[in-house]
Amino acid sequence: MLCELEAAQAKIRDLQQRLFARKSERGSLIDDKHRGAPVGSRRRGQQRGAPGHGRSRQAHLPLRTEDIELESALCPACGEPLGAFAGTEDCEVVEVEVRAYRRLIRRRRYRRTCECEALPGIVTAPPPARLIERGKFGISVWVSVLLDKFLYGRPSYRLVQDLADQGLNRKTAVGVWKRWLPFDRLRANGSQRASPIG
């Protein structure tokens, strides 16, 4: 009977210790300061009143300069013209421009002036390189499609939506994807053949 009483009291002590004792995970800043940390110690990070590093200049980006003039360089009260003042007040804004555009390629043609007949009568500069012969989509469109699909893992419908958001007609964007599908099937079949059987 005495052993049972001692076991019960030990169990009560253990449960009270678990319920009411200080938890190791919990700690307060006030207790930490009293444990030996000097009062008034500096906090981490940027200190109040200390000079910062300022904004980064982004000097590696190309610069597009825009000049803004006053609509009316006249005094609003008397109508006299305002005189030009030396210098400008400049500000810099970082912009991202993502949009589709058409590239007109003018290939110069030349007429033969000699009598040797080594060249045809009219010689034209070579066309630009294209991924699909006589295709209307440039390499940048295909790079975007391939990166979106295979590097970023973006679903096809989001790719079509993104191309439409960049200014391509939705049917044209779907056409881009349909032109890619045969290459995708070839790639998939090639990777199945090349994969080891295991």
pLDDT tens-digit map of 128-180? 777 777 777 788 888 888 888 889 998 888 888 888 888 877 777 777 767 77
Question: How many alpha carbons lie under 13 Å from residue 58 in its C-beta half-sphere?
Answer: 9
The answer to whether the predicted template modeling score (pTM) of the entire model surpasses 0.75 is no
Tell me, rounded to whole angstroms, the distance of Cα 193 from its chain centroid: 35
Counting every residue written for the chain, the total comes to 198
Average pLDDT over residues 20-44: 64
Query: Closest Cα to residue 169, out of 100, 105, 98?
Result: 100
Which H or E element spans position 11? helix 2-20
pLDDT digits (tens, 9 = 90+) for 92-105: 877 767 777 888 88
Confidence of residue 32 (pLDDT cuts 50, 70, 90): low
* Beta-bridge mates of residue 122: 111
Query: Closest Cα to residue 176, out of 90, 167, 62, 120?
Result: 167
Q: Are 154 and 148 in contact (CB under 8 A)?
A: yes
C-alpha separations of 96 from 59, 71, 93, 148, 160 in Å: 15, 27, 10, 18, 20
Q: At residue 18, does pLDDT exceed 80?
A: yes
Angle value at C-alpha 111, between 109 and 115, nearest 5 degrees: 150
What is d(CA 166, CA 157) in angstroms, rounded to the nearest whole number?
14
Q: How high is the mean pLDDT of the chain?
A: 78
Q: At residue 198, does pLDDT exceed 50?
A: no
